[in-house]
Structure 1
Amino acid sequence: MALAERIAALACETLDLEVSEEILTVTISRPEVLNALSPVVIAELRRVFGPLRSELGRADETGRPDWSIRGVILTGAGEKSFVAGADISVMRGMSPAEADAYTAEAQELTSWLETLPVPVVAAVNGFALGGGCEIAMSCDYIFAAETASFGQPEVGLGLIPGFGGCVRLQQLVGVAAARELIFTGRRIDAAEALRLGLVLRVLPDQAALLTAVRESLRLVARQSAVAVAAAKRTVRAAQALPTDQGLELERSAFTACFGTEDMAEGTAAFVEKRRPAFTGR
């Protein structure tokens, strides 16, 4: 059974899973609490993204790599909220040791999203606050509806961002803007998030949002899976490097592409003026 079929068949209490046109849509579905992140939600997201990270692109018993999922949409159920944050009603009773285990699992999940070999796009409808903003920031890019809002309000609870907000927010919007947003806990709308560079595109409503994300990932699915995976690894790794070291890393990754079947097929198809038939090898 292909990985896509196994993932789509997972029984989840807080997630809706759908695979269509090689795109997996993961919808966090706790509308009664604005899709807040509870330990159960984190555990179920880990059940989905753990196998994706370790098995996508791996050869099956026939020797063919499994690229049955070429992109992931992460969104929230309903129009009010993507994820309104961590579930405070659960967190308030945690001991420091329990909080450490909770944030460790959440941080590892965000790292899995970053290192998945296919793009993950956050489709943000409504609130993306606290842990919701942090989950969105660990995706490759964010598309938002005009009604979306973002923020890291943890200081108002006597806390700080714990799922990567202190790290990723400054990478996306700059150090000063990240400090101001974290220190004040203020909420920003989609227009300001776009201006700051937190959001890539803003769409008029939820339907247009999901259509735009699917169109983006359909374009990805037409490309070489091994090339997209290599590009994602290289862009992420180069973020933390000085320019000269980043260029060296890029050269190494570029050169490695010349040993793939997809490079041979892609260049041949270009010369022959036809659409390439990539195999993901």
Structure 2
Amino acid sequence: MTTQTPEEPETAPRRDRDLDRIAAHRGTADQVRALRTAFMDRHADDIYDRLTDGRSARPRIAELVAAAADTFPALVPPAGPAEPRSARAGREIDQGVFLRGVLRSPVAGGHLLTSMLQPTERALRLLPQFLRTGVLETASVRLERRDGVAHLTMCRDDCLNAEDNLQVDDMETAVDLALLDPAVRVGVLRGGTMTHPRYRGRRVFSAGINLKALHAGEISLVDFLLRRELGYISKLVRGVLVERDDSWRSATVEKPWVAAVDTFAIGGGCQLLLVFDHVIAGADAYVSLPAAQEGIIPGVSNLRLGRVAGARLARRVVLGGRRIRATEPDARLLIDEVVEPDGIDAAVERAADALRAPAVVPNRRMLNLAEEPLDAFRSYAAEFALQQALRLHADDVSDKAARFTGAAPAASS
């Protein structure tokens, strides 16, 4: 009887033959992706273990994809020089196939989701300074600690806080710092004051995805769409993963969060509200999720919105693009407290004080566990990785983004 060594698992010969078959295949893109899908269904855990040294390493999603492209180019084709639009589209769809396979596995997928809860290197580098000063200024987010409350202010007044790769990086850094700072008890997220002519002098929560960046090819599947969901938004729900003496109590550090909506929360802004513990809105504000009209999938909202607002309203919002004003009865399903615009500051202070109670954190942990178990999130994220990759590069999405920016629609790839 032959004994397999850890370096040569029993599945390795079959895996390598399958990879050779994929590399040699000269069929259509659909045929090759069908082979890759079948390969990941059989070998996801083995491939993931190869890329993470038996799960002893914890790469973030971008690092995992880069390692896969380097180690298994037949599975995840690497980027070429001066990559044209059509090549980038195909590469990101192939990344979606790979990541769906990883996330479908409870072993590999669970490990990746947990790895994404680690603080970023940027946040760890900035932490000593933030602990001293209580202030962080980035291009798109200002973070300030005041009386035990971390105030995160989105300040991209050039685009009404529309999200792009830069804002996702800044937001994750700020969320990490708020969670890592032991002096912070509660986090608050609010939009900053705008200079846009239509909203000059007013706060705006978020205009959703940055369509100009989308049209310019600056919205990526891994660094924006997946990092956003598996990174800072997941940390808002589950906390940040840290090593400490009392980690037997919980592997993560969690804190309660308040969101305050001025003017509107569109698209990704509305998605954020679904993970907050207390949502305040001005009486003149509204929320919407126009994802179907934009042609993309609204993050994890299709998992969360029905739970929060009910299946029928979720379909009207996601599929029909219904806009909900803060004063409508249906808004009570999404917003906890509606106040006059000049009363938001006081409402935020009251909510933050209420969430300081010692039993809030363990109770929110149990609520989140009941409402969104990690395996449910993992299963959703697996399919989202592929379907969003397909929608990101669909012709109708490119054409809509081009119309928004006034550019000519992109030619079909």
State the partner residue of 2:158: 32
State the partner residue of 2:289: 152
Measured after TM superposition, the shift of residue 177 of structure 1 is 0.5
State the partner residue of 1:167: 303
May I ask how many residue pairs the two structures share in their alignment?
A: 224
Q: For residues 232 and 199 of structure 1, what CA distance do their matches in structure 2 show?
A: 17
State the partner residue of 2:271: 134
- 8 Å CA contact 1:91–1:99 kept in 2: the answer is no
1:105 aligned onto 2:227:
yes
- 8 Å CA contact 1:34–1:80 kept in 2: the answer is no
Q: For residues 141 and 227 of structure 2, what CA distance do their matches in structure 1 show?
A: 17
Alignment root-mean-square deviation, CA: 2.3
AA paired with 1:186? R
Q: For residues 325 and 261 of structure 2, what CA distance do their matches in structure 1 show?
A: 11
1:202 aligned onto 2:338:
yes
1:9 aligned onto 2:146:
no
AA paired with 2:351? S
Measured after TM superposition, the shift of residue 195 of structure 1 is 4.2
* 240 and 77 in structure 1: CA distance in 2 versus 1, 3 angstrom threshold: closer
Measured after TM superposition, the shift of residue 71 of structure 1 is 0.5
State the partner residue of 1:232: 364
List structure 1 segments (4+ residues) > 2 angstroms apart after TM superposition.
Answer: 1-11, 50-53, 92-96, 98-101, 192-196
State the partner residue of 1:121: 258
State the partner residue of 1:219: 354
Residue from 170, 183, 192 that aligns with 1:44? 170
Q: For residues 193 and 5 of structure 1, what CA distance do their matches in structure 2 show?
A: 42
* 80 and 12 in structure 1: CA distance in 2 versus 1, 3 angstrom threshold: closer
Of Structure 1 and Structure 2, which has the larger fraction of its residues in strand? 1
Matched-pair identity in %: 25
Can you list the C-alpha shifts for 1:203-259, whole angstroms capped at 9, x where unaligned?
101x311211111212333x22xx322111111112258xxxxxxxxxxxxxxxxxx
AA paired with 1:155? A
Measured after TM superposition, the shift of residue 152 of structure 1 is 0.6
* 168 and 4 in structure 1: CA distance in 2 versus 1, 3 angstrom threshold: farther
Q: For residues 28 and 72 of structure 1, what CA distance do their matches in structure 2 show?
A: 13
AA paired with 1:106? R
Q: For residues 325 and 227 of structure 2, what CA distance do their matches in structure 1 show?
A: 29
State the partner residue of 1:192: 328
Can you list the C-alpha shifts for 1:163-188, whole angstroms capped at 9, x where unaligned?
x2212211210111101111111211
Uncovered stretches (5+) of structure 1, i.e. residues with no partner: 57-65, 242-281
- 8 Å CA contact 1:194–1:201 kept in 2: the answer is no
Structure 1 or 2, whichever has the larger Rg, is 2
